[in-house]
C-alpha cells in the first residue's frame, strides 16, 4: 500500500497537468501580511485598494487547512526589515518619494519592520509554531534567506506558491524557484493583486511558452486531488 505522504497526484492545470508527490511538495504562502491586506497598512499608503486582496484569504485558509490535515510541509514568508533598517537598501527606502516610507511610523506600527503589528501575518492564516516563517528583505523569497537550504534539506522539489501580490512577490519568487530547479504551481484564486490587469497578466506570464516559469490552476482543483 502506498503511504499517504508518498502518494503522487496530478492536478488539472495550465499549460498541462501538474504532477507532484505529497512527499516532496511544500505549500509556500507569500507575504499574507496585515501591511498588504488590511486598511491602514503599507499597501494602502502606496495608494492601493487593499480590498482587491481580501478574496485570497478564504481559499488560502482552505488550502492551508488541507495541507495541515495531511501534515505536509507549510512555509510562510513576510517581507520586511530589521528594526535598525540595516538591511533596507536606500533605493527601496526612497522609491515612490512618499512622505511616509518603510521604517516610519504608520497606523500598524513601523511600516514593514519585523516585530511590528502590520508586518505580521493576518490572523486567518497565522503560522503554527511548527511552520517556518521566512523573513525576507526583498521581493523574492530566495534572496538573502535560508529558504533554498531549508527546502533542499527537506527534499522538496515542487512548490505550491500562494499569497500576494501576484505580479510582485509571487512572480519574483516563482521565477527564483524556477531557476533553482523547483516546479511551481500557482492556484489563481490564492494569489492577488491590487490591479486586476496585473493579476491576469501575472498568471499568464507564469504559464506561457509551455509553462516557462510554472503552472497555474485553482484551489478547487488542487483540493480535489489531495
Site residues, ligand C5J (CB under 6 A): 31, 36, 79, 139, 164-165, 168-169
Would residue 221 show up in a list of annotated catalytic residues for this protein?
no
- The least CB distance from residue 146 to ligand C5J, in Å, is 19
- The least CB distance from residue 220 to ligand C5J, in Å, is 24
Which is nearer to ligand C5J, 147 or 169 (by Cβ)? 169
Only one residue has cell 508527490, namely 21
Phi, psi of 70 (to 5 degrees): -100, 5
Which is nearer to ligand C5J, 24 or 60 (by Cβ)? 60
Helix 196-211, helix 171-179: angle, nearest 10: 20
Question: To which H or E segment does residue 164 belong?
Answer: strand 158-164
- The least CB distance from residue 168 to ligand C5J, in Å, is 3
Which is nearer to ligand C5J, 31 or 38 (by Cβ)? 31
- The least CB distance from residue 165 to ligand C5J, in Å, is 4
Phi, psi of 38 (to 5 degrees): -105, 150
Active-site choice (136, 139, 184, 207): 136
Nearest residue to 50 (alpha-carbon basis) of 33, 30, 65: 33
Whether the CA torsion 102, 48, 135, 153 is positive or negative: it is negative
Which is nearer to ligand C5J, 108 or 168 (by Cβ)? 168
Would residue 190 show up in a list of annotated catalytic residues for this protein?
no
Active-site choice (35, 120, 139, 169): 169
Whether the CA torsion 66, 68, 71, 73 is positive or negative: it is positive
Would residue 31 show up in a list of annotated catalytic residues for this protein?
yes
Question: To which H or E segment does residue 105 belong?
Answer: strand 105-106
- Residues marked as catalytic: 31, 136, 169
Amino acid at each position: 500500500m502506498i503511504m499517504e505522504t508518498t502518494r503522487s497526484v496530478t492536478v488539472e492545470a495550465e499549460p498541462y497537468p501538474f504532477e507532484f508527490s505529497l512527499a516532496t511538495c511544500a505549500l509556500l504562502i507569500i507575504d499574507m501580511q496585515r501591511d498588504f491586506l488590511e486598511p491602514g497598512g503599507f499597501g494602502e499608503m502606496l495608494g492601493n485598494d487593499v480590498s482587491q486582496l481580501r478574496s485570497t484569504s478564504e481559499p488560502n485558509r482552505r488550502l492551508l487547512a488541507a495541507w495541515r490535515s495531511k501534515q505536509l510541509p507549510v512555509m510562510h514568508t513576510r517581507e520586511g526589515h530589521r528594526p535598525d533598517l540595516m538591511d533596507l537598501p536606500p533605493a527601496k527606502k526612497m522609491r515612490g518619494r512618499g512622505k511616509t516610507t518603510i521604517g516610519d511610523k504608520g497606523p500598524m506600527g513601523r511600516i514593514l519592520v519585523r516585530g511590528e503589528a502590520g508586518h505580521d501575518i493576518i490572523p486567518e492564516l497565522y503560522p503554527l509554531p511548527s511552520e517556518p516563517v521566512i523573513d525576507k528583505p526583498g521581493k523574492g523569497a530566495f534572496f538573502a534567506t535560508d529558504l533554498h537550504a531549508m527546502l533542499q534539506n527537506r527534499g522538496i522539489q515542487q512548490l505550491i506558491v500562494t499569497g500576494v501580490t501576484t505580479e510582485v512577490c509571487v512572480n519574483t519568487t516563482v521565477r527564483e524557484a524556477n531557476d533553482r530547479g523547483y516546479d511551481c504551481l500557482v492556484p489563481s484564486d490564492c494569489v492577488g493583486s491590487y490591479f486586476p490587469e496585473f493579476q491576469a497578466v501575472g498568471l499568464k506570464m507564469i504559464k506561457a511558452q509551455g509553462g516557462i516559469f510554472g503552472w497555474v490552476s485553482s484551489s478547487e482543483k488542487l483540493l480535489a486531488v489531495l
